[in-house]
Amino acid sequence: MPNPLFDTLFGQHSTSDAEFLQLPGGRSLSYKAFLDRAAQYAGAMTSMGLVVGDRVAVQTAKSPETLAVYAACVQAGLVFLPLNTAYTPAEVAYFVENSGARLVLGDESRRDALATIADRCNAKLETLNADGAGSFPSLAVSFPASFETVPRSEGDLAALLYTSGTTGRSKGAMLSQGNLLSNAQVLRQEWRFTSQDILLHALPIFHTHGLFVATNITLLCGGQMIFLPKFDLDEVITELPRATAMMGVPTFYTRLLGDKRFTKELSAHMRLFVSGSAPLLADTHIQFEERTGHRILERYGMTETNMNTSNPYEGERRAGTVGFPLPGIEVKITDPKTGQTIPNGDIGQIEVHGPNVFQGYWQMPDKTAEELRTDGFFITGDLGMVDEDGYVTIVGRNKDLIISGGYNIYPKEIELILDEQDGVLESAVIGVPHPDFGESVLAVIVAKPDQEPDLDAIAANMTASLARFKQPQQLVLLPELPRNTMGKVQKKALREQFAGTFA
Ligand code: MCA
Ligand code: AMP
């Protein structure tokens, strides 16, 4: 019985001794060894009573074992729910509760906090540490290295990835087997990936970019990954000469350009550098080409859709654009008020349609209906235009969103917490230019009459509730927020006022 995602990405390699992961310290893992481990994990999770469709919430370090949990979930028909390792227990509690996860996998160092959450949500808790040890692998070791793959179809759910919401509540994007598979197939073809490729993998694996784009393509073509725990400039520079391709957020490329060791010779063996998740400045694109002779290939995607557009592999990679709609994917630009398609060259909201578009938000039919039209077009919340040659350019966002180092941060989530602090009347959180992260978080606070909020105490309070990367890098007190005649806060004016803060 088929399981399209498992069969195509993983099953085809089950007896292959070819190398899959190159790991720090000269270690490596073959496809077979990786899949044997995944089968043991699938056996262990099934023995715990998990059944098809159950969610598995995973907040563990980037490691071959975490990747094997993903494979095991696909093989056993479970829904993989990866979580940013920077999330605080308060944040994790929401995801576990909202998803109704049956199993939580976390690091031993967080066992107490996670146990409280798991108990409250009636979920099981097991540990998996960065070095591959923990209660979960200890349990799995006694299971056979083969597992009868659970039949699934392309419409079945494979993963639940949470994206922050403009209302402050995160939404679980339901991704089917077909969503993931179709995108991996299209990207392998478009970017010419083969079993000869060695991908330098320095992205986290709890987001679409590192998990689905980078990993699924490699699995599909039977290539290898140099699997680094995180983006570390020295390690990337050391490993680059052995790689053929790299995927990254713009911060990766600006950091590389900031290092004199990053030369044409160092990247001579590379055939492809891909950038996405945040806008790549045209200046970075140009500097990169001058330094290395390579033109970065920029593409555009979302958690809800995987990848939508890409600059061409052959043909002109145009700086400042995100290229053409991928084969099988339609992009249209519409008037945000009427939803009508507008002429090429005009700026409107970007809508996409295709086999990549998700199944809706987990148990949020109203939110799904707001963003996913009945004809299948998804309203991305990005603003853009298509030029006469068909290149798509993103010019801004119709959603209040900050992208810092490739991580999405929704101001509303932070404002809700700030507004509860002592002495705070109201707040406005904005993204301002940052040389390393592209954008960074700045919070403007207005005091209640005759009160003086303690900014240091407020900053300290944020650490319990919010992951470090979401915490404002600066808190500013203003007598009032700028508003238009309708009373709406003018964030544009604030962004202009504070544009130079992190310059
Ligand atoms: C780390 N910090 C950050 C960020 N990352 N602060 C703001 N924004 C960030 N992105 C904090 C740390 O907690 C630390 O705080 C301080 O910054 C310095 O840490 P540093 O060591 O410099 O950071 P790093 O570990 O080098 O991380 C920076 C990074 C990383 C390499 C850019 O954030 C990263 O890998 N980003 C990629 C995110 C990604 O994969 N996005 C794809 C999602 P302190 O020192 O104060 O404790 S979007 C997606 O998937 C869509 C579909 C798409 O299109 O791809
Ligand atoms: P996420 O919801 O975390 O998947 O982030 C998706 C958002 O990242 C998109 O809606 C865009 O706003 C942004 N994004 C992704 N790729 C690009 C890109 N190449 N250029 C500009 N913005 C991008």
Q: What is the CATH number of domain 190-397?
A: 3.40.50.12780
> Strands (DSSP E) along 139-253, which ranges?
157-163, 171-176, 198-201, 224-227, 245-248
288 pLDDT more than 80: yes
> Residue 309: which pLDDT band, with cuts at 50, 70 and 90?
very high
| Portion of the chain with pLDDT greater than 70, in percent | 99
* pLDDT, averaged across the chain: 96
- Note the pLDDT of residue 166: 66
3-state helix, strand, coil in the chain (%, to 5): 35, 25, 40
In CATH terms, are 4-15+28-152 and 401-497 the same topology? no
Question: Closest-lying ligand to the alpha carbon of 253?
Answer: 1
Task: For Cα atoms 43, 46, 47, give the angle at the middle one, nearest 5 degrees.
Answer: 85
470 pLDDT more than 80: yes
Q: Residues with Cβ within 6 A of ligand 1?
A: 203-204, 207-210, 230-231, 249, 251, 276-277, 301-303, 404-407, 437, 468-469
> Residue 485: which pLDDT band, with cuts at 50, 70 and 90?
confident
Question: Closest-lying ligand to the alpha carbon of 351?
Answer: 2
Q: What is the CATH number of domain 4-15+28-152?
A: 3.40.50.980
Question: Closest-lying ligand to the alpha carbon of 209?
Answer: 1
Whole-model pTM: value is 0.96
Cβ atoms within 10 Å of 130's Cβ, excluding its own: 17
Domain residue spans in the chain? 4-15+28-152, 190-397, 401-497
Give the residue whose CA is nearest to atom 18 of ligand 1. 469
Cα 194 to averaged position of ligand 1 atoms, centre (Å): 29
Burial track 291-319 (b if 16+ CB lie within 10 A, e otherwise)? ebebbbbbbbbbbbbbbbbbbeeeeebbb
pLDDT, tens digit, for every residue of 179-202?
A: 999 999 999 999 999 999 999 999
Q: What is the CATH number of domain 401-497?
A: 3.30.300.30
